[in-house]
Structure formats: structure tokens, C-alpha cells
Structure 1
């Protein structure tokens, strides 16, 4: 602090400041610090001010909000309570002289220690004085009155707040529009897999029809039962309720309804099949139970109207309508069609229903095509009935029958015994009962093979219809003896007589003149050693003994139909070539394919080739008639039981062996293959019967007679003219 001056400070009037010593007495209220403190900023004492406030009405007592500013303008200081602070003595004097601009008659008191309020910042602190002689106080310059503070405009604040709010809402709106228009597919797709349900729309399977358009197998409307595992509340209770209606064990149904994920994803599986092909009435009962997570939808079921009619040939399908055997399996891609699919959004929990306006996509199913076969349903039925009746005489037997249309090679009937109900394929004694014996039954054809040997010899000029030579009773080749059942005892026999009595020795001698190479060549021309390509899956090809594998005994066994593997269908096709003037026609089952639009597409034309000349084929047919007609003092032909009254029949009996997986089976295979009318054949019928006891020979010929007789009557073939039937002499003189 600067040193205090010994001379008291004086105000402009000459009076000393800060001390009352040595001063003249003053009137109360004039001068003096204590007196100044007793006055209010407006020159009133506190008591006077209080009294005046009490006298002033309350309405006028509230101060003017701008009063502190006005007091500053008047020369005083604004206090915290809005009162004016007293000015200094100098300022009071100046204020007295400024009565014209201030308030007249107001005595301003001076405080020795100015009171600084928080808002009193207009005066800077006085500078510190340096030690030295004190100079008279200079007169302060007169300050310009300060302008009152500028107050805020509420309208501007309102405008600013409005602009900020609108900007905020505009930003939110722009973001919402962007999410809805630009990013909405991405956000929607992100949760879409959890809401997607997929329902398969099965495609109707094509029918299998006979040659007249009658159904052998077709699909009918049904229902399938499905479950949504995410909605099933109690899978065990649900399974117990469904088991009696579906015929499926409850444990299996409960296992199907267990929650699981879609393969390769973390998404819950929402669709599983519980049963297929359920009858519509049963489906209604299931829906009446109102089980959570259980539903039904349109499906189909395969029906076979004939039960076992052509079952071994047609085959059957699975519950999913996939072909498993027979024609159903061979032509599965044609019959099955393409299933459709419906994909849609569903809600979650109790709202598991399609969402209106949600994602939905439907691929319509494409029905499968139908197959029209060459089979005649009525003829097939009678063929199966006759075969079953005849085979009943030979227990434990396996039999096959084939009926061919000669000019076209179409299969009119193809029966197997035993058979089964294609509508319930599980009810069989053995899976082999479902096999088609005509294409899978591999046998040593036996004597029916002799027609091939004689046909090759005729075509190659080794023999003629008039050829005769002496026939011995036995011959030994490679250490193996061969003999005849009808002993000729060295007598001269005719070619028809050799066929009528089925002479092994005569056939071996003719084959020896023909040679093994040419015999093998004709075997192939007649269709042996390779599948016919009829149309059934799993058709056996048979086997021919190559020339380099022949042994000494092969020269005796091969010509008479041993050491040769063939199927009934292959042998029937070989005889059909003889009946068709020497032209081989590939046997076939499928006539045409009918698309969903009803338009038919014929099957490819069957393969054909010439084997015999028409003349040689006619001569061979005439010689084969001896098998069903020769009956005299020299003996009876082997095929008299196959004769059809009123018709000329050419054919041949056979006794062969059966092989299963390369192993010879006990018993024998009896067979008969023939054609009628022999003068101009229309149909070929082949019958093969294997029995462990060897009774097949006694069954095959009678079965042929009944089948051929019905076929000729069914197609109204006129009877033959008996007066033109040939007369045969077995032992010409």
C-alpha cells in the first residue's frame, strides 16, 4: 500500500475526506461517514425510506426493471437489490451542479468504502499511488451515460427453435425414407429366412394305360399330412392321436416331429411329412382333431385297379411317388413330372399363418406324362388266370407267358407266376415274387432251340424240307452220351418227323454239317445273347457259348438247346421271326407317350432284321406243324396237347434246365412256343414252367392251348381250313 499522506484528502469543496477530527460541527444528515451510511442511495434515511415504502401503495412499490440502468445514467451505482449506490462527495457535488439533468434537491451521501456488488463492475480499481508528495486530486472526466442493455427478442428465439425442430424432423424423415426405399430390401431379407414356410405342390404322376386307353395304374387325389415342429406343443401326445389314423407307430411320428435345423443352416425346419397318400376322409378326421402344428394338403395316391394285373411288369412306386420296380422305375422320369413349390411368409408363435401382402412365391407343378402300353388288359387278365390255374398243379413252380403280335412285335400279354398286388407290394413271400419272369427267368431252352438249328440249316442249304437220313438211337461226344426218347433204331426219318419226335441225334448231325460258327451266327440273328430292349428294367441278356470255349460235348449240347442261356421273351421273339416270314422284330411294350396336354408321341419304331427268307420261314413253319399233328402207329408227337381245335398250330416243345446266379436248380423247365394260324400266323404264344419236381412239361402245352385259343377268339381270327393241313410221314419208305 502507498504511504498515507499526513495531509488529509479534500474534496473539491475544500473539506477533508476520511476524517472528522478538527472539522466543524455539522447538522445531522449532512456530511460525515456515519450520516452517509444512514441514508439510502436516494438520499433518505433507512427509517425514512421504510416509512415511505409503508406509505407507498403496493402496486407502485414494485420497482421498474430498468431502474438500475436509469440510476447508472443518473450518476449512481446499481446495487444487487436494484437500489442506487451513493456516489462520492465529488460526484455528489457534480450531481448538485447537474440538477438540470438529474433530480433536483437530492443530497448525495458519500461512503468512505464503496460497496461493490457482484454486478458492480463498471469502475476499475484505483491505481496504486507511488510514494511522494500528494497532488491535489484531479477532477474526473464526466462519463457518458451508458445505454441500457439490449434484451432478447422472444420472436427470434421462437423462430430459431422452430427451425431447429423442423431440421430435426426433416433429418428423421429423410432417414426413414432412405430405410424404406433404399435399405428396406436388405433389412427385410435379413429376417426373411425365419419367417419363410415352404410347401411342396406335388405334380400328378402320369398313368400307365393299356392299348385301348384303360388304366393299369393311375393316380387319384389324396392328402398328405405334415407337421411344423416349431408349432407342435406336445409331439408325443400328438403322435399318439395320429397313430391310429395314419397306421404309423407313434414313436416314429414323434421322432419326425422333433425340432431340427434345415440342412446347412441355423433356421428351424418348419415342414416334415408324416404320411403320404392319405384318403380324403381320413384327412378330414385329422383336421377335426385341431392339433397344433399339424396340417394336410393335396396329394395323390397310386392305384392299380387290377390289383395283380400285370403287376410284375408294371411295378410299383414309393409313398413319395418314385418308381421302384418295373415300368414305374424304368420310365420314372417320364411319369413323375416336376413338383411345384409354394414359399410364403408366416407369422411367429400363435400367428403362424400367411402374412397378407408378405413375400409369396409359387411354382406351379408340371404333371407327368402317361404311358400307353401294347398290353391288352382283357388278354392279360386271361393269360394270368390260365397260367395260375395250370401252375397250381406244380407246387413251388415259377412260370412265365408271353403273347406277341406277329407283324408288329407288340407284347399283348406278359404274365408271371407267382405274382403280387402292386397296390400293396410289401405282402409277398419273397422279393423274387415281384420279378418279371419273362425277362429275368434265365433257362437252358432245351428242345425249343432246335427250331433255330433247323432254320439256320434251311437258310444255309444244309437241308431241305424233303431231306431224310437214318437216325441212330445214341451218340457220344466228348465222352458224353446223347440219346433220343423216341428211338428210331437207325431208320430213315424225315425232317418233320425229326421235329415231331424231337430227335436229339438228328439235330446234332444237322448242326455238325452246319458248323459251330454259322450256328452261333444264327443264334445272334434270332436275338439270343443280348437283351431284347423290350422296355423293362433289369432284363437279362442270356449268354451264348463262344466258339473258342466249345468242348467236345458242346457239339452235342449246343444244337439241342443246352449250354445256352436265354429268357422266355428272347425265345418268343425268335419264333416270332419264323412266324413273320423270317424277319425279326424287336418286341416292345410301350406304344406311345401321352403328354399332359393329351398329345401322343409314338415310340421309336422297333428294330428289325432279316433272318430267314420268306420261303424258308414258310417251310420251317410247315415242318413245325408236325409237332402238334403227328399221331400214328409210329408214335405220337410231343406237342399234341398244344393243338387248338379249328386252327393250324406250328410250334415246339422243350425241356430245359434253370440256372439261378449261375447255379443249376433242381427239376426241369417245361416249355412250349407256337404260332397260329400256321398258314398265316397272327400271334405267338410262349409258355415256360419250372418246377422242382419236373412237372413243367405236362403243364406248358395245355396252358399254351388255352391261351392261344382265347387270343384267336378274342381278336376274332377266322378258323383255319383243315382240308389244307399238311400230312406228314415220319419214316418215309
Structure 2
């Protein structure tokens, strides 16, 4: 070890003597130290410039450059008639900096318009107190004493900078005030002049001389106060929380462009924009969006389902009205819903839930027409095929019962739908087979999202046919072991009656600018899934449900209505079985049925009613009828069951039309 240290010492001395240019050792040591320092400096400089260069440049930019972000006005959300459903209203928000105000009592009196204080200032400036009070009134009439006390108590806001909390002397005094911006600006400027004059404080000595100030913002308002489940809401910052407000902002359709104005920052952090201020001219409002919703129909739907909801107290009531040819959703309501302007409670976000797309359920017998249409399309039966329906029919380890109270019957295929017979539809499904039934369920949209532009849509539940047990296959035929949403059912029934086309539901029609120039149209998307002949047949089959089956309460004097009821027991996890006191009641139908234009789907989940009311015919059908009547009246649809003629003497006569539309030679005809 000693030898090793000796060798190192000798090497250093030899090197030193070799490079020593001076005879004086002190000069040589100084030069050596200087070389060492220079080498260290060069290494550090290289490190800063090459390895850590980006880091330090970024730090400098943060210290000496700044920016101001300015969000533009959001676009409007309009109904199909261009009635505004959501618009941005320009408002003013006032802030105050309590720690910067030494004489808070004086400040309070100025803001509140104290006569004595204002008169004192007026006397100094030889001005009229009345004029000054008038100029201050936009401020004094808006800000209350409690607003001031709350701000004084809060004093700061706390922000995080580089993982450290920092107090900023800034408190919102009042947000979202509807007032004239010019008037509030003059009032705040006057209040500051009065304070600095009477308090004797020097504004140039303060870090934040704007003791009170304002910013202009945009508050979202909903003039028509309908369709909260569809339109949605925003938070206090204007960010979309639900519905179209959320999805359209996320897709940057209604959000105005955010302008970033860069400039130099002084030691106090204030940004000076300089020439960049001209970018203000490029600030643009977001685009407007025209929806398919009709505000008047939406109002009607919400009012009606609310009446039934308050009467029966269900988990929810869904109602969806759709144009069968375009897929336009004209009204979509889900009770309970949030009413714009009401106080926002803790659970108000749940009231914004569009359950017609987010809450799947077992639909029950409304699935039966889909099965029949598939069987007709595949040619395994025709509409008049006779189906043998024994009173008891065993599949696997399960016995199914027909609807004829212990009697073995033979009925036509269309009567299986009219009487909603479980055994009959199971036997039709068995003729069709698992694979083909699954194919048509998928074609009609089950097990898939509709793709409507609303957040949170559920695809429902449809297991692959390879995994169906025989009992499950049988129950799918009458709407169990499958779940769907109300919108999915509306779209499926539209395909049943519109000539055989599955039309993708849409909630948006077009995007327009402020001058109503169309920027983008949302196309109608459709594909044929059943032949037109089968679709025309299904119109007549569904009409028979109303004419003599489970939906007779829907029958109207002037119109043919067609549809299907569905009463599904609800599975109760507490008892691990279907609860006979809980149902989901549905009715899906179309009108006017000889040449249908609209499909309407109604779902009522777990209504609190007596046991003798636990049927779709008593729960969903009355709601459907009330809604359909008002749609026909509102749209002024010509009757397809009767025609009316006004005679010259003022007498109105009527006659039956389309009398051959009704199917005949069924069980009821035989009994006559």
C-alpha cells in the first residue's frame, strides 16, 4: 500500500515539473488551479447546453414569457325548428383582493354606496353625489353585505405551483351577473378612485392595485327548459358534464377556439401582449348544432310521463319517439328528470341520466314480432300458418304454458302475436333455429349500441347463439335472457314497419355557423334487413294486437295503431329469482299504421301499483295512447281509418276507409 501511494506521489511530481513553465512555484500552482477550474467549467457548460438544455430553456421561458388564454363563446344547441335549447349568455363575474385592502370598512361602504362616504368624495372632487351614486348603482345594487363578508373571511385562493401551495389574494365576490358590461366597468373604476382618494393609499405601492375587478364570461342557459337528459348541463366553468353538452364539447363541435396570446412577463408576473393583441380579432364562437328533437313534443312527453311517474313511482319511465324513415329522434324523455332552473341537489346528476340508452332491461313479449318477422323472411312459415299451441309445452327441464287457460289450441301465426302466446312463439323460434334467430336479432340492432351521439349508451345483452341452452333459446323468443334499451326497441320496430330498413337513430341533423351556413350534415344511414313484403305484413299483424289483442286500450277512432305489449318479470338478486310483484312494462308501436310515419316506445320499470295492475296493457299502454294522440294532433296527420267530407249545407259526414287492412279468419272469427 505504501509503495502504491509513493508511486502516485512520484507521478504527480513528475507531471508537475514537466508542465511547470515558471520558476516560481506559486505561479505554477496558480496556473494549475486555473486549469482545473476551467476544465470543471467547460464540463458543466457542456452538461447545461447538451444534456439539460431543454430543461433550462423551458425554465427561462416560464420566468420571462407568459400567456393569456381566452375561451370563446360556445355554440348553440337548437331543436329541429331552430328553437334554442342551450345558448351562451354573456355575464360578468366580480372579484376582490381582501389582503390588499387596508381599510376594509371604508371599502365596504364604497361598494355598498354609503351616502356619507360618497358625499365626502363628491365634495373633494366638486362633483354631484347623486351622479356618483347613480354610476355606482350597478355595483351597489348587485353586491350584498353578506357577499362582502364572505369574501373578507376567505381572503385567498390556494393554487399549486411546482408541487407547492401558493396563496393568491383573490376571491370571487359575485359570479355570473347579468348586467351591462360598460356600466359595471364604470362602477368598479369609480369605486377604486374613491377608495384610493379617501384611504390615502398609493396604488403604485401595491402588488395588486386592482382591489376589485371583473371579467366577462359566458354562462350556459336553457331557454326552453326541456330535454335535460339529452342536452345536458355544464359546470360553473362552462365545461360540459352530461348529454350533448359533454359529447359535443369533447368532439370540439360547439366549443369556440381557445386563443393563446403570448407575451413578455414582468417581475410581478403580469403579461404584456404587445403586437399579439391583434389575435383577439381571430376569436371565434363555437359552431351551432341543430338536433332532431322537437322542443314542443319534448315538452309534451316530459309533462305526460311526469304525471304517470308521480302516480305510480316507478324506477323510471322512458318514452322515445322516432321518425321511422330518417331515424330522427323527435322526443326522448326519461322520468325522473332534471328540470332546468331547479335547485341542484346532491343527486341531480342522476336525473340527467338518459335511461332510454343507458338502462337495459329484459323486454318481454315486445320481442315476439321480431321472431315472427325473421321466420317470415326465412320462409319457414307464412302469416297464416297454423301453429299448434298445447296448454303445456316442455323444453328441457322447463314447462311453458300457453295463453288459453289450459286449452290446447291451433292458431294462425299472426294470432300468436295478437294473443301474445308464449308457446306459439317458442315453436316458431324452434322452426327458425338458434343460428338464424341470432342473426336477425343482430340485424335488428340487439346486442349492439345504436351509435347515437349521446354518452353512456349500453349495448344491452345478447349472448352468442353457440352458448344458448335450449331453455334459454326458448325464453329469448318471448323477451327473457336478453336485455335491450328503449331506443334499441324503437329502432327495431321502425325496421319492422318502414319497408324493412334498419335506420340508424340520430339525434343530430347538422352543424351550422352563425350565418346559418351548413358546415356538416349528419347523413341518414339505413340498410335492408327484411323484405318490403314482410314489413307490410308486420304492419297488419301489429295492428291486430290493438284491434283485438293485448293492446286494445290503444285503439283510436280515426287511426290504425299497431304495436306490441311486453310484461317482463324483474329478476330480484335478493331472492335469486324473478319477483312476481316487480315488472318492466313496455309498449312499442307505430302510427298511422296503413302508412306509418312514427314509432313510439314506452317503458315503465317497476311501477308501485296493485297486483291486478301489473300488466303492460294497464301500465305502458295508457301512456302510449296519451302520447300518440298528442303527436298525431301536433303533426296534423291525416286519419287513415276514416275520411271526413264537409257538405255544402255544413254537415260533416264520415266513412270507413282501409277496411281491408284488418286480418281475418282467425280464432275470434271462428268463435263468432
What is residue 76 of structure 1 aligned with on the other side?
none
Per the alignment, do residues 336 and 238 of structure 1 end up closer, same or farther by CA in structure 2, a change over 3 Å counting? Answer: farther
What is residue 566 of structure 2 aligned with on the other side?
654
Return the structure number with greater relative CO, CA threshold 8 A, min gap 6: 2
- Return the match for 1:638 from 550, 563, 573: 550
Q: How far did residue 224 of structure 1 move?
A: 2.2
- Using the alignment, how far apart are the partners of 1:403 and 1:323 within structure 2? 25
Per the alignment, do residues 345 and 670 of structure 1 end up closer, same or farther by CA in structure 2, a change over 3 Å counting? Answer: same
- Using the alignment, how far apart are the partners of 1:252 and 1:485 within structure 2? 71
What is residue 67 of structure 1 aligned with on the other side?
none
- Using the alignment, how far apart are the partners of 1:689 and 1:423 within structure 2? 26
Question: Would the aligned equivalents of 1:472 and 1:487 in 2 still touch at CA under 8 Å?
Answer: no
SS at match of 2:311: coil
Q: Does 1:211 align with 2:145?
A: no
What is residue 279 of structure 1 aligned with on the other side?
178
Per the alignment, do residues 474 and 235 of structure 1 end up closer, same or farther by CA in structure 2, a change over 3 Å counting? Answer: farther
Q: Counterparts of 1:117-128 in structure 2 under 5 Å?
A: none
Superimposed CA distance per residue, residues 271-311 of structure 1 (whole angstroms, 9 cap, x where no aligned partner):
7766642322799498376485221122111111233x101
SS at match of 2:253: helix
Q: Does 1:419 align with 2:337?
A: yes
CA RMSD of aligned residues (A): 3.9
Question: Would the aligned equivalents of 1:376 and 1:412 in 2 still touch at CA under 8 Å?
Answer: yes
Question: Would the aligned equivalents of 1:316 and 1:423 in 2 still touch at CA under 8 Å?
Answer: no
Q: How far did residue 245 of structure 1 move?
A: 4.8
- Using the alignment, how far apart are the partners of 2:73 and 2:289 within structure 1? 14
SS at match of 1:386: helix
Question: Would the aligned equivalents of 1:246 and 1:278 in 2 still touch at CA under 8 Å?
Answer: no
Q: Does 1:691 align with 2:606?
A: yes
- Return the match for 1:710 from 611, 615, 630: 630
- Using the alignment, how far apart are the partners of 1:504 and 1:414 within structure 2? 30
Per the alignment, do residues 714 and 252 of structure 1 end up closer, same or farther by CA in structure 2, a change over 3 Å counting? Answer: same
Q: How far did residue 576 of structure 1 move?
A: 0.4
- Return the match for 1:319 from 224, 236, 240: 236
What is residue 445 of structure 2 aligned with on the other side?
527
Q: How far did residue 343 of structure 1 move?
A: 6.8
Q: How far did residue 413 of structure 1 move?
A: 0.6
Q: Counterparts of 1:31-430 in structure 2 under 5 Å?
A: 200-227=69-96, 231=100, 245=144, 255=154, 257-258=156-157, 276-280=175-179, 284=184, 287=188, 290=192, 293-307=211-225, 309-332=226-249, 333-340=252-259, 361=277, 363-364=279-280, 365-423=283-341, 426-427=344-345, 429=347
Per the alignment, do residues 253 and 317 of structure 1 end up closer, same or farther by CA in structure 2, a change over 3 Å counting? Answer: farther
Question: Would the aligned equivalents of 1:276 and 1:299 in 2 still touch at CA under 8 Å?
Answer: no
Q: How far did residue 256 of structure 1 move?
A: 6.8
Deviates more, 1:374-383 or 1:225-234: 225-234
Per the alignment, do residues 219 and 431 of structure 1 end up closer, same or farther by CA in structure 2, a change over 3 Å counting? Answer: closer
- Using the alignment, how far apart are the partners of 1:660 and 1:272 within structure 2? 51
What is residue 542 of structure 2 aligned with on the other side?
624
Across the two proteins, how many residue pairs are aligned to each other? Answer: 534
SS at match of 1:686: strand
Question: Would the aligned equivalents of 1:442 and 1:660 in 2 still touch at CA under 8 Å?
Answer: no
- Return the match for 1:564 from 456, 466, 482: 482
What is residue 359 of structure 2 aligned with on the other side?
441
Q: How far did residue 265 of structure 1 move?
A: 11
What is residue 676 of structure 1 aligned with on the other side?
591
Question: Would the aligned equivalents of 1:405 and 1:682 in 2 still touch at CA under 8 Å?
Answer: yes
Q: Does 1:724 align with 2:658?
A: yes
Q: How far did residue 445 of structure 1 move?
A: 0.7
Instruction: Give the number of the structure whose residues are more often helix, by fraction.
Output: 2
SS at match of 1:300: strand
Per the alignment, do residues 239 and 323 of structure 1 end up closer, same or farther by CA in structure 2, a change over 3 Å counting? Answer: farther
Structure 2 residues without counterparts, runs of 5 or longer: 1-58, 113-141, 196-209, 642-655
- Using the alignment, how far apart are the partners of 1:571 and 1:579 within structure 2? 13
SS at match of 2:223: coil
- Using the alignment, how far apart are the partners of 1:370 and 1:347 within structure 2? 39
Q: How far did residue 515 of structure 1 move?
A: 0.4
Question: Would the aligned equivalents of 1:671 and 1:688 in 2 still touch at CA under 8 Å?
Answer: yes
- Using the alignment, how far apart are the partners of 2:235 and 2:546 within structure 1? 47
Superimposed CA distance per residue, residues 34-91 of structure 1 (whole angstroms, 9 cap, x where no aligned partner):
xxxxxxxxxxxxxxxxxxxxxxxxxxxxxxxxxxxxxxxxxxxxxxxxxxxxxxxxxx
Superimposed CA distance per residue, residues 615-646 of structure 1 (whole angstroms, 9 cap, x where no aligned partner):
0111111111110001xxxxxx2101122331
What is residue 52 of structure 2 aligned with on the other side?
none
SS at match of 1:336: coil
Per the alignment, do residues 277 and 552 of structure 1 end up closer, same or farther by CA in structure 2, a change over 3 Å counting? Answer: same
TM-score, normalised with respect to structure 1: 0.65
What is residue 376 of structure 2 aligned with on the other side?
458
Question: Would the aligned equivalents of 2:377 and 2:531 in 1 still touch at CA under 8 Å?
Answer: yes
Question: Would the aligned equivalents of 1:530 and 1:542 in 2 still touch at CA under 8 Å?
Answer: yes
Per the alignment, do residues 267 and 346 of structure 1 end up closer, same or farther by CA in structure 2, a change over 3 Å counting? Answer: farther
SS at match of 1:334: coil
Q: How far did residue 559 of structure 1 move?
A: 0.6
Q: How far did residue 249 of structure 1 move?
A: 10
Superimposed CA distance per residue, residues 86-127 of structure 1 (whole angstroms, 9 cap, x where no aligned partner):
xxxxxxxxxxxxxxxxxxxxxxxxxxxxxxxxxxxxxxxxxx
SS at match of 2:219: strand
Q: How far did residue 421 of structure 1 move?
A: 2.3
Per the alignment, do residues 347 and 517 of structure 1 end up closer, same or farther by CA in structure 2, a change over 3 Å counting? Answer: closer
Q: How far did residue 380 of structure 1 move?
A: 1.0
Per the alignment, do residues 494 and 487 of structure 1 end up closer, same or farther by CA in structure 2, a change over 3 Å counting? Answer: farther
Q: Highest Rg: 1 or 2?
A: 1
- Using the alignment, how far apart are the partners of 1:421 and 1:404 within structure 2? 23
Q: How far did residue 496 of structure 1 move?
A: 2.6
- Using the alignment, how far apart are the partners of 2:435 and 2:146 within structure 1? 62
Per the alignment, do residues 524 and 361 of structure 1 end up closer, same or farther by CA in structure 2, a change over 3 Å counting? Answer: same
Question: Would the aligned equivalents of 2:585 and 2:619 in 1 still touch at CA under 8 Å?
Answer: yes
Superimposed CA distance per residue, residues 462-495 of structure 1 (whole angstroms, 9 cap, x where no aligned partner):
1111111321222232322322344371121122
- Using the alignment, how far apart are the partners of 1:717 and 1:684 within structure 2? 14
SS at match of 2:312: coil
Q: How far did residue 675 of structure 1 move?
A: 0.7
SS at match of 1:558: helix
Per the alignment, do residues 658 and 413 of structure 1 end up closer, same or farther by CA in structure 2, a change over 3 Å counting? Answer: farther
Per the alignment, do residues 680 and 289 of structure 1 end up closer, same or farther by CA in structure 2, a change over 3 Å counting? Answer: same
Question: Would the aligned equivalents of 1:194 and 1:267 in 2 still touch at CA under 8 Å?
Answer: no
Per the alignment, do residues 259 and 197 of structure 1 end up closer, same or farther by CA in structure 2, a change over 3 Å counting? Answer: farther
Q: How far did residue 573 of structure 1 move?
A: 0.1
